[in-house]
Structure 1
Amino acid sequence: MNQHQQHQMSMSSHDQMLHGGQMMHMGNLKQKFWNSLFLAVPILFMAPAMGLHLPFQFQFAGSDILVVLLATILFIYGGSPFLKGAVAELKARQPEMMTLISLGIVTAYGYSLYAFIHNNVLHQHPFVMDFFWELATLILIMLLGHWLEMNSMMQAQQAVNHLASLLPAKAHVLQNGRTHDVSLQQVAVGAKVVVRAGEAVPLDGQVISGHSEVNEALVTGESQAVQKNVNDAVVGGSLNGSKTLTIKVTQAAGSGFVANVNHLVQQSQQNKSQLQTWAQRVAGWLFYAALVIGFLALLVWSIISDVATGIQRLVTVLVIACPHALGLAIPLVNARSTALGSRHGILIQRRQVIEESAQIDYVVFDKTGTLTQGQFQVIACRSLSKEYDQSQILQIIGSLESQSNHPIAQSVRRYLKKQQQSFKPAQNVQTLAGGGLAGQVATENYQLLSPRLAAQKHLQVPTLHQSETTSFLVHDQQIIGYLIVGDQLRSTAKKMITAIKDQKLTPVMLTGDNSAIAAHIAKQLGIQHFKAELQPQVKQQIIADLQKKGHQVMMVGDGVNDAPSLAQANIGVAFGAGTDVALDAADVILVNSKPLAIIQFLKLARRTRQKTLENLWWGAGYNIIALPLAAGVLAFAGIVLSPALGALLMSLSTVIVALNAASLRL
C-alpha cells in the first residue's frame, strides 16, 4: 500500500447512501424509484404545479386529502435515504450534502402541510400555495439521479467484469490419482488442479508438473504465448496451449488476479477526490448560507410586510438551495470517467490523481516490461567458422540451452520452434560462473560464454557493436559462432514518448539494465534523460530528488523493483501485466499493458477534471445569484423569485449537470 492509500478519507453520509445499506444494491434503488413514481404520479395529476393548474390536472372532492396522504408516504419512503444521511451528518456535527437535501424536502413538505391546514382545515385567507407537486418531483429527481449514477457505476464494473468470464465454472482437482470437477469457490489454496490442453487456467497457481505454452493476452495484455515449466507461475483466466499442466493453487477464487482487478474498480469508486471533498464543503456552506439568508429574509420581510410574506421568502431560499445538481455534479462525472477508463483498460485506484495529473511535468519509466516487452527474443545467430553453418550453430546452442529455464534459453527454444528446427540432446551440461554453459553435444564439447567470460578465457572476441545480450559458442578454444538476444520495444512505445513530449512533459528512463542496452533503447525512443544499472532504492531516490526540486513526477513500472518508486511518485502507474507488489503500490493500473494507455489516462484525467469543475459551477454557482433573489433583495425593482420558480431552477440545474457529465468523451 502506497503513501496515498494509507490516508484514505472516510466515506461521507452521501457515499454511505450510495455504497452502503439498501442504496448499495442496484435493484433496491431501482425499486425505490419505481415505487416512489407510483406514489408521485397521482400527486402530479392532482396537485398544482408551481402554483398553476396544468391542462392535464384535475381535482375532485377529497383529492386534497389524498394528495396529503400520498405525499406523506412518499416523504417518508422516498425521502428516507436523505433523511437518514442528514441525521448521520448532524450527529457528526458536519452538515453536508444529505443535510442540505433534507432541508429542501423537509421545507417543501412542512410548508405544504401548513398550506393544507391553512387552506382546508382553518379556511383562512389569503390562500397559501402548497408545494406537494414540487416535493414529489424533487424526491423523484434525486432518486432518479442517484439511480442513474449507480447505473453508470455498474457499467464501469461490467466493463472489467468480462475478466471474470475468462474463468471456467469448475476446476479439475486431483485427489488420490483421480480428478474431480469442483466449483472454483470450493477449491482451497494448495489444491492440485489439472489444466488440460486448450482449457483456461481456473485459478492463480504454480506449475508442479508438465510444460506448455500459455496465452496470457486476455489477462495481462502480452500477445505472445509464454512457455510454462515446473515452478513457473500461471494466472487464472490465461489459456493453456497444447499440453497438460498440473498446478498447485496459490490464490483462492476471491483473491486472484481477476478478483483483484474487480476490487480495484470498487475501490476507485469509493475513494473520494479533493474535488469531491469540495462538493461536500460547498454543500455545508450552502446549508449555513441558506439558513442565515432565509431567516434574515423571514425577519426583514415580516417587519416590512407581514409574516406570511416572510415565510414565503424563507421557503423560497430553502427550496432553491437544495443541492440536486451539486449532489450529482461530481459523482456523475466520476462514474462516467470510471466507465470510460475501464473500457480502455484504465483503472484508477485513487481519485486524487485526476487533480494531480494537471501538475505532472516529469514522467519516469522503467525499461523492462514497460517500454520493452520484457521478453527476450533471438535477434541474430551467426556462424564464424567454415565448418559450421548457421543452422548447425543454432542447433548446438539450442541443445545446450534445452535444459535451462533462463529467459535466454526460453527465447532460443521459441526461435527454434519458429524456424521449425530440432536439436540434439546435450549431456553433462553445467552452468559456468561468470555467465555461460558447458556441455556435450554429439560427443563434442562446447561452451556458450558471455563476452566477459570469453575475454577472461583469452579468446579472440569479435567486435560486434551490439547493445543486446550476446553469447559466443566455443569449440576447441575457438569461437565458432554467436547468438544475439534482446528485449524488443513495445510496438507503440515510441509513439507514446513522442506524445509525452508534445504535452511538454519530460520523459526519463531508469533501469537496472546495463548502460549500453539502456543507451540503445533510449536512442531508439528519443529519450534524452536516462540512467542505468540502478538498484530499486536508487530509483526511488532519484524520484525523491526530482520532487525536492519542485517537480511533479509520474512513475510507470511493472516489477517488484518498481514498487518503491511507484509509491514515491506523485502518481504511480503500473501495467496490469506486472507483479502484485507493483499493482498494490500504484495509483493507476493499465490493464492491457499498452504504452499508449498512458496518454489516454492523461487525457481522461484532464477532461474529467474540466467536467468536474464545470459541474461544480453549474451545481452550486447559480446560488450566488439565486439565493439573494429568493430572499427578495431586488423586490423593490419588481424582481421577485417565487418558490415555484426556485424549484424549477433547481431542477434545471440538475438536468444540466447530468447532460454535461454524459458529454465526457475520451
Structure 2
Amino acid sequence: MKKTTMTMDHDHQMMAHDDMDMGNGQMMHMGNLKRKFWVSLVLTLPIILMSPMMGMRLPFQLIFQPWSDYLVAILGTIVFVYGGQPFFSGAKAELANRKPAMMTLITMGIGVAFVYSIYAVVANDWLAVTPRVTDFFWELVTLIDIMLLGHWIEMNTVMNAGSAVDKLAKLLPSTAHKIVDGQTQDVAIESLMTADHVQVRAGEKIPADGVIVSGATSVNEAMVTGEARLVEKQVDAKVVGGSVNGEGTFDMRVTGTGESGYLAQVMKLVSDAQAAKSAQENLADRVAGLLFYAALTVAIVAFIVWLLVGNLALALSIAVTVLVIACPHALGLAVPLVIARSTALAARHGLLIRNRDAMEQVKKLNYALMDKTGTLTAGDFKVADYQSLNAQYQADQVLSLMAGLEKGASHPLAVGILKAAKAQQVPTVQATDVHQITGVGLSGSIDGQVYQVVSAAYLDRQHLSYDQATFNRLASAGNSVSFLVQDQQVLGYVAQGDQLKPAAKHLIASLKAQHITPVMLTGDNEQSAQVVAKQLGITEVHASLLPEDKVKLVTQYQAQGQRVMMIGDGVNDAPSLAQADIGIAIGSGTDVAIDSADVVLVKSNPDDVVDFLALARQTTRKMTQNLWWGAGYNVITIPLAAGILAPWGFLLNPMVGAVVMSLSTIIVAINAMTLRLKD
C-alpha cells in the first residue's frame, strides 16, 4: 500500500530541511554544504598564515618562501572551485532566466577576486612588475567561508522555524488497534484505509480521522485545533487524528487517511506556505539585481577614473573591492528568515497560511466582507417555531418532511431541524434523490412527491405567496426561516435562532480600529441579518445573497480600487474567497474548501482573524526592516570602496567590507527571530 500523505509530507518536509535553495531552484544538500564549509575553513587557515595581511608579510609566510605565493594560489583555487560551487550553480540559473540576483552578485564578487588574485601571482612572480600587486586570496577565501557559514546558519534557522511541521507529524501514533472479526490487532497507521474500524483506548492518541461507532468519551483537541478544553464525543461524533482520547474507550470508523486526513492537510498547508515565494521576496531579488548592475557600473567607472589618475594595479584593486563588497548575503536572508519564523508562529496558533502574499496585502486592506452564519454566529441553530401554512398538513408533518429532506445534510440549519424532530419525537420520513439547489436550499422526493426546502428570497423571486406578517415577526427577532414547498405551494415553515460568537464583537471593533470597514454578506433574510448587524455594530449589510452575488460584490469593491478581505465558512463562500485579495476560511479545517482560501483558521474563532492581521503586519514590518539592513550597507560601502573619500586618505579594504556584511547578516537573523505573536 502507498504511504499516507501524512508520511509522505513528513518525508518531503524533512528533505526540504536537508536541502537549501541556492537561487532559482538550485538546491544544496545541507550535509554537503556543511562539509563544504569545514573543508574550506581548514584550507583557509594556511592561506591566512601564508598571505600578506594588509600588506604585511607574516613570519609563517617567510618559512615557505619562495613557494608561499604558489601554495596560496593552489589552496585558494581549491576553495574557490569547491566552496564556491553552490554560488556558481545559483548564478547560472539566474542568468539563464535573465534575472541576475543574489547568487549572481556573490559569484561576480568572488569570481573577480579570484581572477585578480591569479593575475597578481603571475604579475609578481613571473612578470616581476613593480610596485608589487596585492592579491585577494585572503579576502576571497574568508568571504566564501562567511557565505557558506551564513547559508548553513540560515538552514539551521529555517529548520528550527519549521519545527512546527515536525511536531504535527509526531502527533499521530505509530500503531493503531484495528478491529478484525471482532478482535483487535496492532497495525501500522500507514496500513489503515477508509472504512476500517479501530479501537481507541483511554489516554491514547487517535490514529486517524473518523466517526465514533460505539462508546463515548471526551477528547483533548488542543494540539490539533488549539481548543484548550475537553470535547465530549458520542456515537456519530467526528474525531480528528492526533487528538488525545480521555478516559473512555471507543470504536471508530476511519474516514480520513493520507490526503484526506486533517493533519496531512495541515502539514501540506504549512509546507506549501514555506515553499512559496512571496512578492516581497521577489522584491529582494529585484533589489539584488539592481545592486548587480549598480556595482558593475560603479566598478567600471571607478576603474576608468583610477586608471586615469593612478595606475592599472590601483584601478584593478579598487574595482575588485567594489565588486567583492557588493555581495548581498544579508539581503538573501532578509525575507526567508522572517517568513520561516512567521509561518511557524502561525501554525502553532492555528493560522494556516496557504498563500504568503496574503500577509503583504493586509497593510492595504480597506474592507472586510464576511459571512454571517458560522463566521459571526455560532451556527448552532435551535428551532424557535414551526407551523403549517396549509390546511392539509399538520405542523409535525411539516417538521417531519423537512427533517427527511435534511437528513444527511451538514448545514447548521439542517442540524437544527433534525435536532428539533428528534426532540419532538417526530418520525423522520425517508427521502430520495435529495440534492442541493445552489443559493436556494435543497430538493428531494418523498413518497413520489417532490418537495423543496427554500428561503423567503426564493419565494419572492418565484412570486409564491406566504404569510409575510409571520415571517417579518420571526425574522425581526433574528430567526432564519426555512419554507417547505411542494408543487409551487408553501406548506409550512421552520424558524431557527442562532447565537453570536463571543469573539465576534471584538473582531468588528478591531477591524474598525484598523480602519477596515466590516461588511456582512449573507444568504439569510434582511431582517435577521440586520438584527445581527445591529448587535455587532456593522452598518453595511447585504442579505438574501446567492454565492454568485457575493462574488459580484467582492468584484465591485475591487473595481472601485478597494482591497478586500473575505471571511467565510469556506464551502458556500468558496468563489468569493478565491476572488478576494485575502480569502480567510473560518472553520475546523476538515470541511472547508482549503484550495479557495489564502488562510484557514483552525479554531473557528473570529479572534484569530485579529491575530492574523497582527501577525501579518509584524511580518511585513520585519521584512521591510531586514531589507533595509540587507541592502543598506551597500549604499554606504560601495561608494567608499570606489574611493569617494580617497582625497581625504580613506580607501575601504575588502575585508572591512566583508566584516560589515557578516554583521549585517547577524542583524537580520536576530531581527527575524524577535518576531512574536502575543498569546
Q: Same fold (TM over 0.5)?
A: yes
| Alignment match, 1:156 | 161
Partner of 2:629: 618
CA distance in 1, matches of 2:268, 2:55: 49
Residue of structure 2 aligned with 1:33, choices 27, 37, 43: 37
In 1, the alpha carbon distance for the partners of 2:618 and 2:522 equals 32
Is the contact made by 1:107 and 1:318 (CA closer than 8 Å) also made in structure 2? yes
CA drift at 1:102? 0.7
Is 1:577 aligned to 2:577, yes or no? no
For residues 592 and 36 of structure 1, the distance between their equivalents in structure 2, rounded to whole angstroms, comes to: 49
Match of 2:549 in 1: 538
What corresponds to 2:533 in structure 1? 522
CA distance in 1: counterparts of 2:514 and 2:624, whole angstroms: 22
Distance 2:591 2:24 in 1: 26
Q: CA contact under 8 A between 1:212 and 1:244: conserved in structure 2?
A: yes
Instruction: Provide the C-alpha distance between the structure 1 equivalents of 2:379 and 2:589, rounded to a whole number of angstroms.
Output: 10
Contact 1:202-1:236 within 8 A present in 2 as well: yes
CA contact (8 A) 2:225 2:350 kept: no
Distance 1:28 1:530, change over 3 A: farther
Match of 1:604 in 2: 615
Aligned with residue 251 of structure 1, among 254, 257, 265: 257
The alpha-carbon distance between structure 1 residues 355 and 39, as it changes in their structure 2 partners (threshold 3 A), is same
Distance 1:552 1:124, change over 3 A: same
Q: Which amino acid aligns with 2:501?
A: R
Counterpart CA distance in 2 for 1:425 and 1:213 is 27
In structure 1, how many angstroms separate the alpha carbons of the residues matched to 2:139 and 2:222? 54
Q: Out of 624, 643, 648, which is 1:632 matched to?
A: 643
Amino acid at match of 1:549: Q
In the other structure, the counterpart of 2:507 is 496
Aligned to 2:448: none
1:162 is paired with a residue of what secondary structure?
A: helix
Q: CA deviation at 1:519?
A: 2.9
Structure 2 unmatched ranges of 5 or more: 1-15, 386-398, 435-440, 443-454, 460-465, 483-493
Q: Which amino acid aligns with 1:94?
A: K
Q: C-alpha displacement at 1:561, in angstroms? A: 0.6
Q: Aligned-pair distance for 1:539? A: 1.7
- 1:550 counterpart letter in structure 2: G
Task: Look up the match of 2:224.
Answer: 219
3-state SS, counterpart of residue 544 of structure 2? coil
Superposition deviation, residue 338 in structure 1: 2.4
Measured in 2, the distance between the counterparts of 1:157 and 1:631 equals 41
Q: Helix, strand or coil for the counterpart of 2:90?
A: helix
**Separation in structure 2 between the aligned mates of residue 601 and residue 174 of structure 1, nearest angstrom:** 42
SS at match of 1:374: coil
Alignment of 1:78-227 (within 5 A): 78-119=83-124, 124-196=129-201, 199-205=204-210, 216-221=221-226, 225=231, 227=233
Q: C-alpha deviations, 1:186-239, integer Å up to 9, x for none?
A: 323454444445543322345666776655454234557365645x65432244
Q: 1:479 maps to which residue? A: none
Match status 1:565 vs 2:576: yes
Q: Tell me the equivalent position of 1:593.
A: 604
Q: Partner of 1:245: helix, strand, or coil?
A: strand
Question: Quick check: 1:71–1:132 contact (8 Å CA) kept in 2?
Answer: yes
Matched residue type, 1:173: K
Which moved further from structure 2: 654-663 or 158-167? 654-663
Q: 99-108 vs 586-595, which deviates more?
A: 586-595
Quote the Cα distance in structure 1 between the aligned partners of 2:475 and 2:568.
31
Shift of 1:148: 2.8
The whole-number CA distance in structure 1 between the counterparts of 2:39 and 2:604 is: 45
Whole-angstrom CA distance in 2 between matches of 1:496 and 1:52:
67
Secondary structure of residue in 2 paired with 1:247: strand
Tell me whether 369-378 or 541-550 shows the greater mean CA deviation: 369-378
CA shift, 1:360, in A, is 0.5
Q: How many residues align?
A: 596
For 1:168 and 1:221, locate their aligned partners in 2 and report how far apart those are by CA, in whole Å: 19
What letter matches 2:253 in structure 1?
I
TM-aligned CA deviation for residue 74 of structure 1? 2.5
Deviation at 1:466, TM superposition (A): 4.2
1:65-80 correspondence to structure 2 within 5 Å: 65-80=70-85
Cα distance in 2 for residues equivalent to 1:512 and 1:26: 52
Report matched runs for 1:448-527 at 5 Å: 466-468=477-479, 486-527=497-538
1:321 aligns with 2:332: no
Q: 1:347 to 1:117 in 2, by over 3 A?
A: farther
Q: Secondary structure at the match of 1:560?
A: coil
**Post-superposition offset of 1:570:** 0.6
- Quote the residue 2:368 is aligned against: 363
Which position in structure 1 is the counterpart of 2:661?
650
How many percent identity over aligned positions?
50
Amino acid at match of 2:366: D
Would you say the 8 A contact 2:195–2:253 is kept in 1?
no
**Aligned amino acid, residue 372 of structure 1:** T
Structure 1's 31 and 319: CA in aligned 2 closer, same or farther, altered over 3 A? same
Whether the aligned pair in 1 keeps the contact of 2:369 and 2:566 (CA below 8 Å) is: yes
TM-score (norm 1): 0.77
Match of 1:439 in 2: none
Query: What is the identity, as a one-letter code, of the residue corresponding to 1:295?
Result: I
Distance 1:150 1:64, change over 3 A: same
C-alpha displacement of 1:566: 0.7
Deviation at 1:573, TM superposition (A): 1.4
Change beyond 3 A, Cα 1:209–1:344: closer
Shift of 1:77: 2.6
In structure 2, relative to structure 1, the CA distance for the partners of 1:196 and 1:90 (3 Å cut) is: same
- Unaligned residue ranges in structure 1 (runs of 5+): 1-10, 381-396, 416-422, 436-449, 472-482
SS at match of 2:541: strand
Contact kept? 1:326, 1:619, Cα under 8 Å? yes
Q: Distance in 2 between matches of 1:410 and 1:15?
A: 49
Q: Deviations over 1:224-259 (max 9, x none)?
A: 7365645x654322445635233144432x552212
Report the Cα offset of residue 467 of structure 1.
2.6
Contact 1:365 1:507 in 2 (8 A): yes
AA of the residue aligned to 1:251: T
Residues 50 and 644, structure 1, Cα contact 8 Å, conserved in 2: no
Separation (CA, whole Å) in 2 of partners of 1:28 and 1:572: 40
Which of 343, 347, 367 lines up with 2:348 in the alignment?
343
Alpha-carbon distance change, 64 to 497 in structure 1, aligned in 2, over 3 angstroms: same
The one of 511, 536, 560 equivalent to 1:549 is: 560
Secondary structure, counterpart of 2:565 in structure 1: strand
- The verdict on how the C-alpha distance between 1:653 and 1:21 changes in structure 2, with shifts beyond 3 A counting, is closer
Aligned to 2:485: none
Amino acid at match of 1:586: A
The alpha-carbon distance between structure 1 residues 324 and 463, as it changes in their structure 2 partners (threshold 3 A), is closer
8 Å contact kept, 2:218–2:230 = no
Report what 1:374 is aligned to: 379
Instruction: Give the C-alpha shift of residue 19 in structure 1.
Output: 9.3
> In the aligned structure 1, how far is the partner of 2:380 from the partner of 2:165?
26
| Alignment-mate amino acid for residue 494 of structure 1 | K
Deviation at 1:111, TM superposition (A): 2.5
Per-residue CA deviations over 1:587-606 (Å, capped at 9, x if unaligned) read 12333433222222222222
Cα-to-partner distance string for 1:120-170 (whole Å, 9 max, x where unaligned)? 565543233232332233222222322232233223321243333332211
Query: Is the contact between residue 26 and residue 147 of structure 1 (CA under 8 Å) also seen in structure 2?
Result: yes
The one-letter code sitting in structure 1 at the alignment partner of 2:225 is T
Instruction: Output aligned runs, 1:259-270, within 5 Å.
Output: 259-270=264-275
Per the TM alignment, residue 560 of structure 1 is displaced from its structure 2 partner at its CA by 0.8
The residue identity in structure 2 corresponding to 1:301 is W
